[in-house]
Structure 1
Amino acid sequence: MPPRKTSRPPPYAARNQSSSIPIPPALRNILRRATIRTIALGVLGFFTIVWLLRWMGGGSGSAVVIGSGAPVVIVTVIDPKANQGWVEKVKKNREDYAARHGYKTFFPENQDYPLRNSPLSWAKVPAVRHAMSLNPGSTWFWYLDHTALIMNPSIEITSQFLAPARLEKHMIVNEPVVPPDSVIKTFGNLKGDRIDVVVTQDKEGITQSSFVVRNGEWAKFFLDAWFDPIYRSYNFQKAEAHALEHIVQWHGTILAKLALVPQNLFNSYVTGPAHPKDGQYRNGDLVAVFPGCDRDKRSCEDEMRSFFTILEGKPSNSQD
């Protein structure tokens, strides 16, 4: 028979147990404090991540659903140095249109953003990004320059221009991005529901006096890429205009989300280098743009006066 096992531990077990190295009290306290500190840092890191996620989601405990807010936010950057009477009329022009269609407006000042030595015209880019952070539930953000007026308030852009089926009918495909002979052309197989930025061309290139961006992570990427300090430091001749043309031509991820539409849809020129086919303002167009009316000793207020008269329904010979 095999020998019976005893319930008493073998001698070496006791010897091993007794031979373990005792931890000095001072070292034990250091290890205890290190453990507590590690736990505390882990808890702090967890709540920091939770706070960042809530902050990026708009500051609420739950994410805001795109489409739950106003369908369109109209963004116009205001120059605080401009004639305030004229500024108020420009703002009212947007507010009346927005109220008619259930939209919202946003009027930041060009000095609200860290442009450093860049031209003030760059402010339009962070202004749209700012509007997105304030209106996370809205679907579209329409930037409309202060040099433009909405002339046909009966046109509702989401149903008449931006609905996928309508957008596909208006999209200009296989067109040089920079006229007349850019080798980079707009894609020919895009679907309307895949479009996140809608722009127009004038005679010289892509315009920024009026453009539309769909809310979402891609739009944030697009605006951040456009506003990159590297591009602002390039000293492009036309500042943000040439920067936009650069990223559209050299970044396929942007061109793949871009729709080029006829200029007269929402960017008709009263003066300036209008697109020869469809860029000149005509009665009934949604928008009348006076490009450059704030430069070269010109006056937007003077050039818009007769158009304000039309909007206000006054006789054309009115001196008010």
Structure 2
Amino acid sequence: MHLAYPPRKSSTAGKYMPRQKMPRISRNKKTAIIIGSILVFFWWLLFSGSKRTSVHPSASKGVAEHFPTGKPSVVMVTVLDTSFPKEYTDSIKQNREEYANMHGYGTLISKVGDYDLHGSPFSWSKVVAMRHAMAKYPDAKWIWYLDQDGFIMDPKTRLHDLISDKALEQAMIKDQPVVPPDSIIKTFTHLKGQEVELVLTQDKDGISVGSFAVRNGEWAKFMLDTWYDPMYRSYNFQKAEIHAMEHILQWHPTLLSKLAVIPQKLINAYQTEKDGDQFQDGDFVLRLTGCTKGDGEKSCDREGGRIAQKWRTAFKNA
């Protein structure tokens, strides 16, 4: 059964309603009302002002921003594919841990499969691992990702020296196409070292994310969350997260404005020159790009074993 709506009341006075007179207010009452209103206003102003000064500026957003203290100065992140020979992955882990212990850095070494990527290629694990490192080391200054095909060859070189504000000021390549050689989107020309939040290198194909660093903080969280957006992960980029990074840097000025591209050999030298700058003795990092799981000439196990002898000797003599 439907109930009838109550009759709508008219918004205007009826034609035959008697006119009512407004009560007259004496002069003394008017003065009292004015003074009372002024007192109430000043009381409210004083009370609300004291509340505003006692609350953290970010509390209005519901979340207080955390400012890292810089301890440790660097956290090293690597994701290991355990389908590779154990001797090879153990060598990579040892390389990271010995270097980190030498300089007081933190480490986060995870494995492929540790994170639920919701069907995305395993190469996206690096992005989740970086966010994991930020949560584990909230006071770290820099988070450095180095792929499992990379070895630290010069233990005396400290990463935080290479990417200090002063060092970045001198090393960053300005007015550089983001995707060389033809990209019309270029790195900023007036960027200062202290403004840099993301440090990348390029190879002959474009942006390289096999060795890169991000300054820990709210901007880094925003960048990593943007990069890991389901839209980019589901899009059929030929090189998955690499091409996704190139896309967001060219289409999002908020990200491009904090990018420093530095010479590849500083943190990302390759074994051969066909793909980028070739490693030479004395360089900081060597990456075995293109090495395979098998037993052939290009197997990571074979090449990694040869390289392991060199880095262990360098660490012993450091």
Instruction: Tell me the distance in 1 between the aligned counterparts of 2:175 and 2:135.
Output: 34
Q: Which residue of 2 aligns with 1:292?
A: 290
Tell me the secondary structure at the aligned position of residue 187 of structure 1.
Answer: coil
Which sections of structure 2, spanning at least 5 residues, go unmatched? 1-58
Q: Identify which of 131, 134, 140 aligns with 2:133.
A: 131
Distance 1:67 1:269, change over 3 A: same
Q: Which residue of 1 aligns with 2:252?
A: 251
Q: How much identity, in percent, do the aligned residues show?
A: 47
1:112 is displaced (CA, Å) by: 1.5
Counterpart of 1:287, as a letter, is V
Q: Identify which of 70, 73, 89 aligns with 2:72.
A: 70
Provide Cα deviations, 1:9-36, integer angstroms capped at 9, x if missing partner. xxxxxxxxxxxxxxxxxxxxxxxxxxxx
1:85 is displaced (CA, Å) by: 2.0
Instruction: Tell me the distance in 2 between the aligned counterparts of 1:237 and 1:274.
Output: 17
Q: Which residue of 2 aligns with 1:280?
A: 278
In the alignment, is residue 266 of structure 1 matched against residue 267 of structure 2? yes
1:141 is displaced (CA, Å) by: 0.4
Which sections of structure 1, spanning at least 5 residues, go unmatched? 1-49, 58-62, 315-320
1:223 is displaced (CA, Å) by: 0.3
The answer on whether the counterparts of 2:293 and 2:301 sit within 8 Å (CA) in structure 1 is no
Provide Cα deviations, 1:142-200, integer angstroms capped at 9, x if missing partner. 000001000001001112x1111111100001111101111111111000000001000
Instruction: Tell me the distance in 2 between the aligned counterparts of 1:117 and 1:254.
Output: 26
In the alignment, is residue 210 of structure 1 matched against residue 208 of structure 2? no
Aligned residues: 253
More strand by share: 2
Tell me the secondary structure at the aligned position of residue 288 of structure 1.
Answer: strand
RMSD value, Cα:
2.1
Shifted more, 303-312 versus 84-93: the winner is: 303-312
Counterpart of 1:207, as a letter, is S
Q: Identify which of 83, 86, 90 aligns with 2:85.
A: 83
Distance 1:119 1:187, change over 3 A: same
Q: Which residue of 2 aligns with 1:154?
A: 156
The answer on whether the counterparts of 1:272 and 1:290 sit within 8 Å (CA) in structure 2 is no
Counterpart of 1:288, as a letter, is L
Q: Which residue of 2 aligns with 1:15?
A: none
Counterpart of 2:283, as a letter, is D
Instruction: Tell me the distance in 1 between the aligned counterparts of 2:117 and 2:292.
Output: 19
Q: Which residue of 1 aligns with 2:305?
A: 305
Instruction: Tell me the distance in 2 between the aligned counterparts of 1:244 and 1:257.
Output: 14
In the alignment, is residue 180 of structure 1 matched against residue 181 of structure 2? yes
Tell me the secondary structure at the aligned position of residue 139 of structure 2.
Answer: coil
Instruction: Tell me the distance in 1 between the aligned counterparts of 2:241 and 2:300.
Output: 21
Q: Which residue of 2 aligns with 1:229?
A: 230
The answer on whether the counterparts of 1:204 and 1:273 sit within 8 Å (CA) in structure 2 is no
Instruction: Tell me the distance in 2 between the aligned counterparts of 1:300 and 1:309.
Output: 14
1:310 is displaced (CA, Å) by: 1.2
Tell me the secondary structure at the aligned position of residue 73 of structure 1.
Answer: strand
Q: Which residue of 1 aligns with 2:221?
A: 220
Provide Cα deviations, 1:201-228, integer angstroms capped at 9, x if missing partner. 0001000110000000000000000011
User: What is the TM-score when the length of structure 2 is the normalising length?
Assistant: 0.75
Distance 1:158 1:99, change over 3 A: same
Q: Which residue of 2 aligns with 1:191?
A: 192
The answer on whether the counterparts of 2:67 and 2:217 sit within 8 Å (CA) in structure 1 is no
